[in-house]
Every structure is written in C-alpha cells, then in structure tokens.
Amino acid sequence: MTIPRFGRLQLRIMQILWERGRATAREITDALNASEPIAHSTIQTLLRRLEAKSAVAHEVADRTFVFRPLVQPEKVRRKATREFVDRLFGGSPGGLVSYLIRNERIPREELDEIRRLIGESSPKSQGSPNPKRWPVK
C-alpha cells in the first residue's frame, strides 16, 4: 500500500483517528474546534478526500458514518521524515541532527537520550557520515 501525503488538517484528522481508533465526523470536528475553528463541512470534505486516498474507511452506524484509519502512524511518520530529510538535507539524517543541535534549544534530558540512542545503535547503522552534505552553520 502506498502511504499518502497529508495536508495539515488531514494530518490532524488522522491523529484524532489514531488516538481514538474510530470517530464520527462530528466528533472529529468537535475535537479540532477545541484548538481552532473549523467548519463541519470542511471536515466532511477532508474525510471524503482521505477516503479517496485510502487513508480512512467508514462504516455506517445508526445512519452515521464512523471513520477509522487504514494507515499506521509510524508508516506516515517514516515517509514524511524521509521526504523532509531528502528535500531539506540532501538525504542526510546526520545533517538534520546537526542542524537541530546547532540551532534548537534541546533540553539536557533529550540530549542525554540522543547520546544513549547513538551509543546503542549498531555499527552497521553507523555508516561513515558525509560531512559535505551537513549544514556548516
């Protein structure tokens, strides 16, 4: 199955469905309206588009459509991350990490976790970095 690309609101809808497992269009609208006003008709349109992308499916319960996700969040994250790294960092994950360390305020606990993960990674996954692709500053 091809993992579709999502717009900002489509991704928010997917996040609600991943959290809940299933939801009606009204439940999704209410959840999104907690942080920003969005018309119910907009959510219905986006749900139809998500169905066309085979990202969600619906069942009818008491004349109400109940939607459920068809794609897994980890697969969406993996694809979106890969596209992001390819576009902005020439395919270099190290370039992304280097940029974040140099330009973002990362709490000490998160830096410690990053160090731990690097230490645990296998020698196979630690190919030789290509510093020419990493941003200098």
Per-residue DSSP letter, 133: G
Q: What is the pLDDT of residues 45-81, one digit of tens each?
A: 999 999 999 999 999 999 999 999 999 999 999 999 9
Q: What is the pLDDT of residue 136?
A: 41
Rounded Cα distance, 76 and 81, in Å: 8
Q: What is the pLDDT of residues 87-118, one digit of tens each?
A: 999 999 999 999 999 999 999 999 999 889 98
Residue 54 has a CB neighbour count (10 Å cut-off) of 13
Radius of gyration from C-alpha coordinates of the chain: 19
Q: What is the pLDDT of residues 2-42, one digit of tens each?
A: 899 999 999 999 999 999 999 999 999 999 999 999 999 99
Q: What is the pLDDT of residue 57?
A: 98
CB 65 within 8 A of CB 25: yes
